[in-house]
Amino acid sequence: MSTRARVVQMETPAATGGNALLILVGLGVAFLLITALLGAAKTGGPLFNESNLLYVALIFYAGAGALYMGFGVTGVSKYVKVASIATAIGFTANTLAVAHRWYMAGRPPFASIYEMLLSFVWTVAALTLVTEKKLGVKIIGSITMPLAVVCVILMQLLPSEVRPLVPALQSTWLHVHVTLAMLSYAACAVSFALALMFLIKDHFPTETFLALTSGLVSAIYIAIVATRFEKWGGLSVTAWDAKDKSDMFLGRGVRLFVTVPDLGWLFVMAGLAALVPLGFYFIARVQKNESFIGIANKAIFIGVLLQVIVLAAFVLRARDASYASPFQEGLYPTSLAASPFILGGLICGVFASLLYLMLLWRRTDLEALLPSAETLDRVTYKTICVAFPLLTGMIAAGAYWANRTWGSYWSWDPKETWAAITWLVYAGYLHMRVTRGWRGRRAAYFAILGFGIVIFTFLGVTYLLPGLHAYA
Amino acid sequence: MAFNLPSITKRLYKTLANLRTGIVLLILVGIAAALGTIILQRPVTEADQLARTYSPTTLQLLDRLTLTDVFHSWWFLTLLTLLSMSIVFVSVDRFPNAWRFYARPYRKTDSHFRAANPVKVELPIRNASDGINTAERVMMKLGWPVERISDGNQVSLYSERHRFSVMAVYLIHASLLLIFLGGIIDGIFGYSGYLMLQKGQTGNVIETRTGAKKTLPFGVKCYSAGQENYADGSPKKWWSNLAVVENGKEVKKKEIVVNDPLVYRGLRFYQASYGMTGALDALKVVATPEGGAGREVILQMGEPFDLDSNTSVTVAEFIPDFFIRDNQVFKKSDNPENPAFRLQIKNKAGGEDAVQWIFPAYNEASQGQKSNYTFQFRGMQMGYFTGLEVSHEPGQWLVWAGCVLMGFGLFVAFYMVHMRLWVVAIPDAKGKLVLWIGGQANKNKDRFEQKFKDVVEGIRTELESASTTPRSAHKDEPELTLAAAK
C-alpha cells in the first residue's frame, strides 16, 4: 500500500518537473545534431555516410537512455513515449548505417569486431523496442540503451575501415553464423536486463546490489591496475600508429606500450574508493549494524565522482599525446583508439554506479513501474527460450563453416570452447527450470551469469585468449 | 557382500540417472573446458612459447596434471563419457512415464481432476447431448480435432494438439548423443594431415599432426595453384587445380578454393596454405646470337632448351639471394631478392661448353665465359607450392544429422505447445446441468488461455443463439476462472 502512496506523491512534482528533462534532453540532442551538421558542412563530405549516421544513432540512443532513466526516476509516462520515439529514430539511423556499410562493402557487415558491434547494437535496439511494445516492459531501455551507447562509443574507437574479406571469411555460413550469434547475444542481453528487473521487483535487498556494484567496479579497476600499472605510478597504454590506424608492434604479436605518467595512481585511488563500499557492506554484515550501509552508500557516491575524474583524466591524457616507452627509446603517440577496452570498462563502471544510485534513490517508484515479478520471471524465461535455439544454431553453423574451411568441425579453440560453455550454462538453466521448477531468484542469477559468460565469450576471449578466431 | 556387482551397477545407474549428477557433470565439463582455454595447450602452442610463459617447474606440474592437453586427456574424456551416460540414463529413467503419457492420453476426466485443473469454465445447458454437440461443432470450426469419448451412456469430448511435443526433449537428447557418437567415431577412425604439392607433382603421403606419415589409397595431382590479391595487397583468394589419380587414371578434377574442398571417397582436401618453394620454376631471357637478332625464350629449371641446331642452354643453378667471395657465388638466404642464375651453354658441334651467370640486380646481361650467345634477363617465375589440409571424418554425417535433429527438436520443444481440452456435461455443485470445459497446456500458458477463451466464448454464443428463451438470470452466468496455479 505504501508503494501506491509514494507513487501518487511522486507524480505531483513530476508533472511540473516533467518537462524540464524533456526540454533538457531535446536541447542536448538538437545542440549535438547542429554541431555535427555544421562540422559535416565545413568538411564538405557527404552528409549521409556511415559514420555520420552512426553519430546520429549515438545521440538519439543517449537521449533515449537519459529519458528512460528519467522515467525510472520520476515515473512520468511521457518520458517513455518520447524515449521510445528517440530509440526508434536512433534505430532508423543505425539501420541506415548498417545498410550503407553493407552497400559500400558489398557484403553483410560481419567481418570485424567493429562490424559485429554494429550489428549487435542494432539487434539490441530492435529487441528493446519489441520488449517495450509487445511485452510491456517499459523501463528496459534504461539498461539496454546505456549498453548500446557504450557499444557505439567503443565502435568510434575501433578500426572501422571496410577491409576486404580474407579467403577464410568468404562463406555464406559465416553470415548465418554471425547473424545467429548477434541475435542470440542480444536476446541474452535482454534476458539479463529482465533478470535484473526481476530482482528489483522481487525485493532483492538494495545493499546486495550495493555490494555487487561495488564488486563489479572494483573488479574492473583491479583488472586494469593489475595488467597496466607501471613503476612510479604510470599507466601503460598501447602505442597507436595514426597513419596505419593500428596498434604499434614491437615484434610479431607483441604490442608496444607507452607509459602515461601518474595516471596509474589515479586508477589505484579510484579502485580503492570502489572497494570501500564493499568493505563497509561486509562490516555491516558482520557487526549487524545497518548504519554502515548508509556510510557505504555515501562512499559509492564519492566513488562515482572519482570514477568520473579518472575517466576525464584518462580521456584528456591518453588522447593524442606522445609518451616514453619502457621497452624502446623515444616518444610514441597513443590515442583513445588504442585502448578501447580500458575506456569501455571505465564507462561501464560509471553506468553501473549510476544505475545503482538510481535504484537507491527511487526504488519504490521503480518497483511500481515494473510489471509483476511473475511476469518478469516468465518473460526472462521466454527470452532465454529464444536465445538458446539461436545459440545452438550459431554453434552448429560455426562448426559447419570451420569444417568447410579448416577441415575439422571442432578444434577446442577458445572461442568455440567458451561458446560451448555458454551453451552449457543455459542448458543447465533450462533443465533446472523445467524439471526442478526453478523460478524467481535462482533462475535470475542463472540468467545474469549466462550473460556475463556471453560478454566474456564475445569480447573477453577475443582480447585475452589466443586462438583461431583471429577475425573477431 | 560389499562387492555385489549388480548392486554396484545399480547404484552407478541410479547416480547417473539423477538429474543432479547430470548438472554437476555439466558444470565440471564447463570448468575443465575453461581451464583448457586459459592454460596454453601443447597441441596448438609452440614449445618455446610455453617455455616463455611458464617456469620449468610450473610447466612440469601442468604437464604431469595433463593440464597442457586438457581436451585429449583421459579425465576429460571420462567426464564427457560420464555426461553422455548421464544423459542416456536420465532419459531412460524418465522415458516410461513420458511414454505412458504420450501413448495413453488422459481422455476422460474425473471429479478430482476437474476440481484441481485451474483452467476451466462451466456453462449452463438444458440437455447434455445438445450441449456436447454444440461444443463439438464449435471446436471443429476453430480447428480443434475432437474425439468423442463414450462411457456407458455418458459422452464427453477430448481434443488435443501437438501431443508429440512432449517427446521433443528425448529427440534433443538423442541428437546430442548422435553428435557425441560422431565425434567418437572421428576420434577413433578419423585422421587428418598435411599434403604439400608443387605444380605438376602428385602425392599420396600425408603428414599427420604428430609428424607420422600416412599413405592415402589414391594420389592427388596439382596442376596449378595461385593467389589473387585485393588492390591493397591483402590476399583475396587462394586456389589449386587438383586431380585425383587412382590406379594411374585421373578420376576426378576440381579447382578448390579456401571454403570449397575437393571430396573423394570420404577424404577432403582443403586449401590451407600457399607459398613459395624457394626454387625456380622458369626464367625468361632474351637470347641474342652473335651478330643476330634476339628472341625471347622461357627456360625451365634444369631442362635444356635448343637455341639452334647446335646450341642448347640450361638453367643449371638458381641462387635466390647471392653474394660473391673469392670469385665464387654463394647463397646468402632463401629470399628471392637478389637472385643469380647459372646458365650452361652446350655446343653440340664440338665447340666448347660455356658457363654464364646472370645477376639481374647488377646487370641484366649475362657475363662469364664467352659463347656465341648472350642473354638478357627479362623475368622469372618462382616455384609455388600449395598446402592441402587432408581430413577423413567418417563421423561428421552423424554430427550434422544430430545438429539438424537438435534444431528440429528445440523448435518443437520450445514453440510447439501441447494443448488439451476436455468437455463433459455434468451437474454442478447446485445440481444444475452444466457443460464443464477444461484445458491444459504444457507451456506458454497465457497464449493458451487466450485460445481457451476463444473456444469458450464460441460455445457460449452458440448455446445462447440456440436457446430461444432470452437470458434471464444474469448473475447465474459463470465467471471464467483463469487463475493460474500459484
Interface predicted TM-score (ipTM) of this complex, two decimals: 0.76
DSSP state of A97: H
Range from A42-46, A315-319, A457-461, B288-292 carrying the lowest mean pLDDT: A42-46
Alpha helical stretches, state H, A44-140: 50-74, 77-105, 113-134
pLDDT in tens, B208-248: 877 788 888 888 888 888 777 777 767 777 888 888 888 88
In chain B, residues with a C-beta closer than 8 Å to the C-beta of A461 are 37
Which helix (H) or strand (E) segment is B431 a member of?
A: none
- What pTM does this model have? 0.77
What pLDDT does A164 receive? 61
Q: B407 falls in which pLDDT band (50, 70, 90)?
A: very high
Q: What is the mean pLDDT of residues B404-430?
A: 91
Among B379, B376, B202, B387, residue whose Cα is nearest residue B281 = B379
What pLDDT does A253 receive? 58
What pLDDT does A42 receive? 67
B34 and A421 within 8 Å at the Cβ level: the answer is yes
Which helix (H) or strand (E) segment is A14 a member of?
A: helix A2-43
Among B345, B338, B334, B344, residue whose Cα is nearest residue B324 = B338
A412 and B272 within 8 Å at the Cβ level: the answer is no
Q: What's the number of CA atoms in the CB half-sphere (13 Å) around residue B476? A: 12
Q: Which of A167, A406, A421 lies nearest to residue B236, judging by beta carbons?
A: A167
Taking a C-beta distance cutoff of 8 angstroms, is the pair A237, A318 a contact? yes
Which helix (H) or strand (E) segment is B138 a member of?
A: helix B128-141
What pLDDT does A45 receive? 62
B232 in contact with chain A, both atoms CB, cutoff 8 A: yes
Cα B447 to chain centroid distance, Å, stands at 35
Range from A85-89, A296-300, B360-364, B415-419 carrying the lowest mean pLDDT: B360-364
More confident residue, B159 or A106: B159
What pLDDT does A384 receive? 92
Please state, as a whole number, how many other Cβ atoms lie within 10 Å of the Cβ of residue B68.
20
A168 and B259 within 8 Å at the Cβ level: the answer is yes
pLDDT at A418 over 70: yes
Please state, as a whole number, how many other Cβ atoms lie within 10 Å of the Cβ of residue A284.
20
CA distance A107 to A112: 12
Q: Name the closest residue on chain B to residue A468, using Cα atoms.
A: B44
B78 in contact with chain A, both atoms CB, cutoff 8 A: no
CA distance B462 to chain A (A): 32
What pLDDT does A468 receive? 42
pLDDT at B5 over 70: no
Q: Name the closest residue on chain B to residue A388, using Cα atoms.
A: B410
Best of A374, A386, A410 to substitute, by most chain B Cβ atoms within 10 angstroms, is A410
| DSSP per-residue codes, A153-220 | HHHHHS--S-PPPPGGG--HHHHHHHHHHHHHHHHHHHHHHHHHHHHHHTT--HHHHHHHHHHHHHHH
CA distance B212 to chain A (A): 18
A465: three-class secondary structure by DSSP: coil
Q: State the distance between the two ends of chain A, measured CA to CA, in whole angstroms.
A: 51
Q: A397 falls in which pLDDT band (50, 70, 90)?
A: very high
B29 and A424 within 8 Å at the Cβ level: the answer is yes
pLDDT at B161 over 70: yes
B237 in contact with chain A, both atoms CB, cutoff 8 A: yes
More confident residue, B309 or A40: B309
A409 and B399 within 8 Å at the Cβ level: the answer is yes
Please state, as a whole number, how many other Cβ atoms lie within 10 Å of the Cβ of residue B476.
10
- The fraction of chain B above a pLDDT of 70, given in percent, is 94
pLDDT at A2 over 70: no
* Cell numbers representing residue A426 in the block: 543455459
Among A371, A435, A68, A9, residue whose Cα is nearest residue A202 = A371
The C-alpha angle with vertex A215 and arms to A210 and A216, in degrees rounded to 5, equals: 100
Taking a C-beta distance cutoff of 8 angstroms, is the pair A81, A61 a contact? no
B230 in contact with chain A, both atoms CB, cutoff 8 A: yes
Q: Name the closest residue on chain B to residue A166, using Cα atoms.
A: B236
Residue A226 CB-density burial (10 A; 0-12 exposed, 13-18 middle, 19+ buried):
exposed
CA distance B192 to B195: 10
What pLDDT does B3 receive? 59
Which residue has 577424404 as its cell numbers? B267
Is the CA virtual torsion A166, A168, A171, A177 positive or negative?
A: negative
What pLDDT does B337 receive? 77
Q: A463 falls in which pLDDT band (50, 70, 90)?
A: low
DSSP state of A450: H
DSSP state of A457: I
Q: What is the mean pLDDT of residues A379-399?
A: 92
CA distance A190 to A197: 11
What pLDDT does A466 receive? 52
Q: What is the mean pLDDT of residues B381-410?
A: 89
Q: What is the mean pLDDT of residues A232-237?
A: 81
pLDDT at B1 over 50: no
Which helix (H) or strand (E) segment is B202 a member of?
A: strand B202-208
pLDDT at B412 over 90: yes
Taking a C-beta distance cutoff of 8 angstroms, is the pair A222, A231 a contact? no
CA distance B25 to chain A (A): 11
B393 and A408 within 8 Å at the Cβ level: the answer is yes
Q: What's the number of CA atoms in the CB half-sphere (13 Å) around residue B105? A: 18
- The fraction of chain B above a pLDDT of 90, given in percent, is 18
Taking a C-beta distance cutoff of 8 angstroms, is the pair B95, B103 a contact? no
CA distance B303 to B431: 110
A389 and B192 within 8 Å at the Cβ level: the answer is no
Q: A257 falls in which pLDDT band (50, 70, 90)?
A: confident
Q: Report which listed range, A145-159, A337-351, B56-70, B219-233, is most confident.
A: B56-70
pLDDT in tens, B438-452: 999 888 777 888 899
Q: Which domains does chain B have, with CATH numbers?
A: 5-102 (no CATH), 105-162+417-476 (3.30.310.50), 188-275+386-404 (no CATH), 278-380 (no CATH)
Q: B275 falls in which pLDDT band (50, 70, 90)?
A: confident
* Cell numbers representing residue B237 in the block: 583468394
Which A-chain residues 154-213 have CB contacts (< 8 A) with chain B?
163-168, 170-171, 173
Q: B140 falls in which pLDDT band (50, 70, 90)?
A: very high
Taking a C-beta distance cutoff of 8 angstroms, is the pair B62, B123 a contact? no
pLDDT at B103 over 50: yes
* Cell numbers representing residue A372 in the block: 509483476
Residue A128 CB-density burial (10 A; 0-12 exposed, 13-18 middle, 19+ buried):
buried
| DSSP per-residue codes, B58-108 | HHHHHHHTTGGGGGGSHHHHHHHHHHHHHHHHHHHHHHHHHHHHHHS---S
Which residue has 519489441 as its cell numbers? A130
Per the document, the length of chain A is 472
A396 and B407 within 8 Å at the Cβ level: the answer is yes
pLDDT at A467 over 50: no
B234 and A396 within 8 Å at the Cβ level: the answer is no
CA distance B261 to chain A (A): 7
Q: What is the mean pLDDT of residues B102-127?
A: 88
Which A-chain residues 386-415 have CB contacts (< 8 A) with chain B?
388-389, 392-393, 396, 399-401, 403-414
Which A-chain residues 313-332 have CB contacts (< 8 A) with chain B?
none
A50-74 vs A141-157: helix crossing angle, rounded to 10: 150
CA distance A88 to A94: 10
CA distance B85 to A23: 63
In chain A, residues with a C-beta closer than 8 Å to the C-beta of B270 are 404-407
Q: What is the mean pLDDT of residues B56-77?
A: 88
pLDDT at A251 over 70: no
Q: A8 falls in which pLDDT band (50, 70, 90)?
A: very low
CA distance A471 to chain B (A): 14
CA distance B210 to B206: 11
B328: three-class secondary structure by DSSP: strand
Q: Which residues, 6+ apart, have CB-to-CB distance to A83 below 8 Å?
A: A63, A64, A67, A68, A71, A141, A145
- The fraction of chain A above a pLDDT of 90, given in percent, is 9
Q: A472 falls in which pLDDT band (50, 70, 90)?
A: very low
B19 and A436 within 8 Å at the Cβ level: the answer is yes
Taking a C-beta distance cutoff of 8 angstroms, is the pair A264, A224 a contact? no
pLDDT in tens, A134-174: 777 777 888 888 888 888 877 777 766 666 666 666 667 77
B259 and A171 within 8 Å at the Cβ level: the answer is yes
In chain A, residues with a C-beta closer than 8 Å to the C-beta of B257 are 167
CA distance A200 to A9: 21
Taking a C-beta distance cutoff of 8 angstroms, is the pair A190, A383 a contact? yes
Q: Which of B236, B258, B411 lies nearest to residue A164, judging by beta carbons?
A: B236
CA distance B188 to A368: 60
* Cell numbers representing residue A299 in the block: 562512499
Query: What are the Cα distances from residue A226, in Å, to A135, A184, A249, B474?
Result: 43, 32, 22, 75
Average pLDDT, chain A: 80
Average pLDDT, chain B: 84
pLDDT in tens, B329-355: 888 777 777 888 888 888 877 777 888
